Amino acid sequence: MLPSIPADPSVGLRHGVLREHYECVRTIGQGAHGAAILAMRIEDNEEVVVKQIHLGWMDDKARQEALKEVRLLSQFDHVNITHYYECVLEEVSMFPACAHCQEGANVHALQFAPSLDTPSWHECAKPHLRPSFEDLL
């Protein structure tokens, strides 16, 4: 049994039922702890990406790191960082919802923005060159 994770309105962390607010369109990615799902927000028909993070497979330290990621995402307000909306806690999963970048909008910005001192998208895909969150601040 997972320990109870308290809601935190200051970072958009709430308990709820995901399908009451989002309609799943399709899975767009899969990872070790869950999936990235293209979804439609019911209230305004906006496309978003909901990341499913299955907390049941994680130890307490990993769960705390996942919560830390959500808290960190909620603090960003920058044009080069995908906008975070909220995170829904449901059963043994958490579902952070973020803006959907249409047709690789971030790829275009990274490849064709010479004024930015930023590596290309392909360089970011190399783990040893990937910038950390601290580097982006």
* DSSP labels, the chain: -PPPPPPBGGGTEEE--GGGTEEEEEEEEEETTEEEEEEEETTTTEEEEEEEEEGGGS-HHHHHHHHHHHHHHHH---TTSPPEEEEEEETTEEEEEEE--GGGHHHHHHHS-TTS----HHHHTSGGGPPPHHHH-
pLDDT at 110: 46
pLDDT at 117: 46
Ranges in the chain, pLDDT < 70 = 1-3, 103-137
pLDDT at 103: 57
Among 3.40.120.10, 3.30.565.10, 3.30.200.20, 3.90.700.10, name the CATH number for the domain at 9-100.
Answer: 3.30.200.20
pLDDT at 2: 58
pLDDT at 122: 38
What is the location of CATH 3.30.200.20 in the chain? 9-100
Q: What is the pTM of this model?
A: 0.71
pLDDT at 89: 94
pLDDT at 5: 85
pLDDT at 20: 94
pLDDT at 41: 96
